[in-house]
Structure formats: C-alpha cells, structure tokens
Amino acid sequence: MLNHGGHPRRIASTGQGRGSWLAGLLVFLAFAGAPLLGLAQDAAGQAGGVAYRDLPAVGSRNIVWVIAQLHLLLAGFVLGVPIFAWICEIVGWKTGEKRYDKLAKEFTKLLTSSYATTALFGGILLFMLIGFYPKLMSYLADIFFPSFVVYCILFLLETATLYLYWYGWDAMQEGGKKKLHLILGFFLNVFAFFIMIVPNSWATFQASPVVLAEGSDMARAWAATWNPTWWPVNIHRLIANVVLGGYICGAYAGIRYLSAKTAEEREHYDWMGYVGNFIGVFGLLPLPFAGYWLMREIYQYNQQMGITLMGGFLSWLFILQAMLIGVLFLGSNYYFWMGITHRIPGSEAKYRKPIMSMLVILLLCLGVWMTPHSLVASLEEARKMGGTHHPLLGVFGVMSAKMTVANLMILVTFMSFIMYWRAGKEETAGWAKVAKAIMSGVLGVAAIVVIVLGVWGYFVPAIIRINYFSVAQVLIVLFVMLTITPLTALLLRSAKTTTEMVWGKMPPRAGYALVLNAVMVILLMTLMGYARSSSRVHWHIYGVMRDSSQYAFSPALGYAAAFMSLCTFLFCMLVAFIFWVATMGDKAKAGESGGKGKLPGAMPAMAGGSQQLDEK
Amino acid sequence: MSEVVVLQMIGLVVIGLGVSILLFIEARFVRVVGFVMIVLGLFSMTALGVPQMASLPPAEEKFDVANIKTANDMAAIGQKIFFSKGQCALCHSIGPSESARCPDLKGIGAKLTREFIYESLTQPQAYIYQDYRHEGPPKEYPARMPYINKNPIGLSNNEILSVIAFLQQMSGEPITVSPSEITQPTQTAAVIPVAHAQ
C-alpha cells in the first residue's frame, strides 16, 4: 500500500555520520538474511523473471505498508521541522526574543538523530521494495533513473547544509553571520523541498502516469515527473509538513508541561505549546484548499479515480477524514480558548459567549461534514444503506454542504486565533473603530456569501458548483484571512496591553489537547496515504501496470484503520525516543549546572526557558 | 470469528489498557501513552463501525461460447460487467439522480441505436450528445466519458457487446446483439494490452 513503489530514498544519506553503520547493517541483513526468511516467489515469476516475492505469515504488503508509512511520517517530520525551526529563528531575529532562537536551535538538534532514523527506514523500505516488487521497481527505475541522480545530489547538498546550519549555530549568532545562518536555513528548506518533490513524482506517477513511448531518457523522466497530480501533492505535502512539525512541537511541549516540576518549566512549555499550536493552525487553515485542488486535479485526470475516492468504496473514508479534521479543529480551537481564559486573567467572562457561539458553530459544521450521502459502490452497500442516499440526512451529505461547512470551520478557527491575538490589548489608534467595523463587515459578509453559495449550489448543475461556486467560497475565505490579518497587525502595533499574559497557568487538559492534535494529524496522514494508494485500485501504475499479486485488492477500512493506528503509535514512540535521545545530554548538563549553583537557564528545557530566564 | 470481530476485540483491549493506565499509573509519560492508546482504539472502533467494503480486482467474465446460447445470457453477463469491471455505475445512475455526475441511463437502449452506444463506449468524444434527456436545456456534466476499451477499464469486444445487450434489455427493447458475435477470448483485439515493464 501507500505508494510503495516510489520511495527508493534516503539510502544515500546513510553513508553520512551516524547513519553509516546503519547502512552497513542493512546491507548485511539484506544480503545475508533474505535467504533465511524463506521468501516465497510467485509461480508466474519462475519462467520470466520474478514479479513478486512474499513474506510468509506477515505478508509482503503488510510489512511494506508499515515501513513505508513510518518512513513517510518520519520524512514529513524531518522536512517539517526545518521549516518550523527556520520560522522560529526568523521571529527570534526580528523581535530580538532569544527564546525563539533557542527553540529553533533545539528543534534543529533533533534533526541529526531523526535524519538518521528516516534514512534507516528509507533503506529498509528500498530493500523491501526491490525484494518484494522487483518488476515494478525495475520499471520505475527505467523511467526515473535521471531523477535518482538528481535525488542523490540533493541529498548531499541537504546533508552538507544541515551540518553547517546545526554546527554553525553558536558561531553564527551576531551581525552578518546571523544573516548568513538564516540564508543557510533558507537553503536547508529549499533542498528539503526538492528532496520531497522528487520522490513525490515517483509516487504521483503511479496514480496519474504520463508515459512517453519515444524520446530520450531525460524526456521520458521529465514527462513522467510532471504528471497531473505532482504539483498538487507537492503543495499539499509541503503545507502538511508544516502542520505536522507544529503539532508535534505542541505535543512535545504538552507532555513536558504535564511533567514539569517547577514554575519556570511550566511557563516555558506552556509557551512552547502555544508556538507549536499556532504554527500548526497556521498551516492547517490553507491545507483544505490544497486538498481541494488535489481532488480537482484527480477528477480532471480521471473521473473514475475521483469518484472511487469520493463516491465509491472509499467514500466512508472521507467521513472518517471529516471526523479527524473536525476533532483537530475542535482541539486547536479549544487550546486557543483555554489560552484566552487561563493566560489572560479576567477574560473568562468577556469571552465566554463568543467561545460558546464558536463551539456551537463548529459542532454543527462537523455534524454536517460527517453526514454520509452518495456512498454507493455496489448493490450490497446500497442494501446496507437502505437506498442510494442516506435516508434522513442525505441533504447535508452533498459536496455543496460539505464545502460550505469546511469553509465556515476555517473562518471560525481563524477568528479564534484573531480573538486570542487581540485579547488583553486595547487599541489606541484613532482609526481603530473604523478598522474593527471593516473587519466585522468583511467577516459577516463573507460568512453570508459562503452560506448563500452553498445553498445555491443545490440548484445549479454540478459543473457550475464545482467550477465556480466552490472556487468562489475558497477565494472568499482566503480574502478574509488576507484582509483581517494585516489589519489586526496594524491595529495592534499601537495597542496597549491591558492584561499581561501569564504563562504556566493552563490546566493539565491543555497538555492532552496538544497531544490529541498531534495524533489527529498523524492519523490523517496515514488515512490519506491509504486513500491515495487505494484510489489506484488494482494497479501498481494506474492503467499501465496491473497488480497481479495476491494483494491486488484494497482492504476494508476497519482492517486499514488497524494499520493506521499501529503506524501512528509506532511513529509516536519513535519520535518520543528521538526527543529523549536528543535531550539526554542536556539533562546531564543541567544536573551538573544545577549542582554548581548556576542559573536555572541552563536547565534541560528544550527551548531556552522563559523570557525572564533569557533576560537574566 | 470474523476478521472484523477480532479487530474489534483488539480495539477494545487497547482502549481498556489505556483506561487502566490512566486509572492506576502515575508516571506522566505513561499516562500520555495510555491516552494515545484510547484515542487510537476509538478511531479503530469507529472505522470498524462503518460498512466494510474491500475493493477487489474486477472479476474477468468468462465467455464460454458453448454456454452462451441466447441474447439474455449475454445481457446477464453485461449486467455483471456494468456494476463491476466496466465501472459504469460509478458515474451513471439507472433512474433520475440530480447528484449524478453523468447521464441517467434509464431507457438508454430505447433512445440510442446499438451502433451509437458502441461508438459512445469506444470513441466517447466522437459525438457529444448533450440533449440526451429530451427535456429542458442541454445539461453539461463535469465528468468526461472514458474510453471503455482502453486501460484502466479495458473491456474486451465481447464484454462491450454484453453491456449493450444489458442496456437494451434494461430498457425493455429487443436485444439486437447476437451470441454469434461472441468470439473466442483469444481472438479479441479490442483491449489495449497492459504495458509491462519491458
């Protein structure tokens, strides 16, 4: 599953640093261990080359599924963290708040160990793919060989840049050197982006292949790379990686907050949780738009694939997706609301009503989003449903309603963030009233227009709704964000703080909310990985190379969900291990420093402690 | 015991373990692990609660010429192909449906000739027949009809003829496709072969 054909990656990096011994071990295991496993070859392969091998008892697909998913999640983490760290470093540089710089540094430190772990799983995955799917891998290698070379070069550049970025952090702190460091961070992310999009081309080629019968190797590789779903997936994954990085940072902060023993620790991890949640939400808001674009491209490329996803046997999957996204929206908003009521003393009464209103809107929207409608893939399912449409709530199950509520949920979440931003401050600018009236007007009109378009969508042909109404809804919500954000920033520039934010006062459930958000994001990634893989149905490469193995079927959602949960759990444990290993040295140092009576600023805190500590 | 029941039991055990950890263990990290187990268990149980539909590779209908004696035999095979390998029902409804992305095929066998249907399946862009409903303004659909005789659907000539027989039978029309037109599967050339690695 999970586009297993397209990820012969990361092996190049295992020759670097910590990964080198892992690469050696892998090579040894692959060559020495394979015969001992008693891998079963398919009968058809005996005469004309082996097409498939299987792993008895476990099943080749199951093991590839888990390894590929873990590798992809780790890769998302490894690519998301540099974006997160670089943004934090820039904020620290621009605002002069050192805690941001320390946060960025500590998260960059995680990269060295997580980079090696990602490479390890990439290597295992590559060996498995070559072993279990030799014919498919041979075909992909034949088409994509030029991009393999590009990929290796990119990896060398990324590794070198990472080393300079990490090891040069302390040496490049002042003046022009800091700018050079920021430029290094920029290139780190540029190379990481290209490292992401090259394997994306292999995976998306499997779903929407472009095959040239003639032409040079380069021309064939380029045509295959620039396939219809390549860029939509690139953008979707880029944003999703930012979301993953942010929410994992939040989850880490949540766990440390729960186990914090001192007031400083609580303050510090409370603040870190806020930053993680903020960056996660920042990425989450545009993510549905990128997903919408991807689905549009899939429909444009092949109607059957689109309908298989949205209205065929995978349609229940999108109800689960709605549930996960809904919980994520609720979790993120809940954390914002707790921030307002616990960090800003005296604000609870003021914001209770707006919060309750937003909660009701979110729950209603989630209810609509989760309503099933056109879910019939077969007569059997129709029988189970009692007809082609849901008997009671079919009217809310159509795309017109779902697009409307998704946009409304984004608007509500955006307003939660704006509310949090403005809480505890009083605008002093002379034009503040006008600005607030404009913002209220823009928000109100936008919400009304989104709803009107949604209702109108029931009465127009599908093509009008898809091509005009849905696009208009998305553009309206984007317009709201792009209007209100700069206006609020301008307004708050001259605002005076009426109530100082108090860190470290959040209740324990805030920590659990942050963990829940991270789990939701990881589950969503595993769910959509299954969706993209299953949308190819019984094809390795859609319409080009058929899957003729015993695993040519896509398993039902329940079975798949068990694997998603397993992968999510294993990934969480891996990340926890990486955090533990990366901070082990700090704890030891902190112990020594504490014993010598030094400042608590040297505590094992991941991100340099609170602002007060920075100022000491 | 079915696979779903086994998975549900595992899900319940995971949730129970998570609840036990939260109830009896003090260590914060372990408690968070317990919380994550509960969340994952609930997610799995929810996924197991929805209809369980696996997507199987389409069954290849066998055309045993000796056993296909009447046009109705062909229509019966065509019906199976319509709902499985042909993927027709993914987009088309049989009966009115406002949410359908493609034209309603009810009575299509009476409205269109056999040759027209054949052309619509094998050369779908040759002639776009918008006013198929014969009522109201022509309706433009977002979906584009795929080439049924090419991959990824790739119906053989025999299979296409059987689908036409089904469409005619469903419309209450006499079936104009004859079993004598069925060829031995090895002789069919309508399907573009699957490209292989070599």
Assigned domain for A164 exists: yes
pLDDT > 70: what percent of chain A? 84
Would A50 be classed as within a structural domain?
yes
Min Cα distance B180 → chain A (Å) is 31
Does the distance separating the beta carbons of B28 and A461 come in below 8 Å?
A: no
The range of the structural domain enclosing residue A34 comes to: 1-226
Query: For the segment A152-211, what is each residue's pLDDT rounded down to a tens digit?
Result: 999 999 999 999 999 999 999 888 899 999 999 999 999 999 999 999 999 999 999 998
Question: How many Å apart are CA B41 and CA B44, to the nearest integer?
Answer: 5
- Asked whether the beta carbons of A417 and A283 are under 8 A apart, the reply is no
Residue A339 lies in a domain: no
Residue A83 is assigned to a structural domain of this protein: yes
Burial of B140 (0-12, 13-18, 19+ CB in 10 A): exposed
Write down the pLDDT at residue A25: 46
Q: Would you call A539 helix, strand, or coil by DSSP?
A: strand
Higher-scoring residue by pLDDT: B62, A165: A165
Interchain pair A564, B43: CB under 8 A: yes
| Closest partner CB to A466 (pick from B87, B91, B142) | B142
Residues 154 through 193 of chain B touching chain A, CB cutoff 8 Å: none
- The closest alpha carbon to A254, from A361, A142, A338, A163, belongs to A338
Q: What is the DSSP letter of A465?
A: I
Q: Is A140 among the domain residues?
A: yes
**A31 part of a folded domain:** yes
Count, residues in chain A: 616
- Tell me the C-alpha distance between B154 and A403, whole Å: 34
CA of A399, closest CA in chain B: separation in Å? Answer: 9
pTM score over 0.90 = no
Listing DSSP states for A335-378 in one string gives HHHHHHHHHSTT-HHHHHHHHHHHHHHHHHHHHHHT---S--SS
Residues sharing a CB contact under 8 Å with residue A108, sequence separation 6 or more, in sequence order? A81, A82, A85, A165, A166, A169
Asked if B147 has any chain A CB less than 8 Å from its own CB, the reply is no
pLDDT digits (tens, 9 = 90+) for A549-566: 999 999 999 999 999 999
Residue A560: CB atoms within 10 Å: 26
CB contact under 8 A, B44 and A539: no
Chain B interface mutation, best of A259, A296, A298, A304, highest count of B Cβ atoms under 10 Å: A304
If one counts the domains in chain A, the total is 1
Among chain A residues, CA nearest to B27:
A259
**Residue A503 DSSP symbol:** T
Mean pLDDT value of segment B174-192: 70
Residue A94 located in a structural domain: yes
A606 domain residue, yes or no: no
B92 Cα to chain A: minimum distance (Å): 11
- Worst-scoring range by mean pLDDT, A159-168, A296-305, B181-190? B181-190
Residue in chain A closest to B151 (alpha carbons) equals A543
Q: What Å distances lie between residue A63 and A57, A71, B163, B189, CA to CA?
A: 11, 12, 40, 39
Q: CB distance from B106 to chain A under 8 Å? A: no
Q: What is the pLDDT of residues A114-161, one digit of tens each?
A: 888 998 999 999 999 999 999 999 999 999 999 999 999 999 999 999
Per residue in B91-120, pLDDT tens?
A: 888 887 665 667 888 889 988 899 999 998
Cβ-defined contact of A304 to B91 (cutoff 8 Å): yes
* b/e per residue B55-74 (b: at least 16 CB within 10 A): bebbeebebeeeebeebeeb
Residue to mutate among B12, B30, B52, B55, with most A CBs inside 10 A, is B55
Least confident of A161-165, A566-570, B14-18, B79-83: B79-83
- Provide the pLDDT for residue B66: 74
Alpha-helical (H) ranges within A259-347 are: 263-284, 287-301, 303-310, 315-343
3-class SS at A53? strand
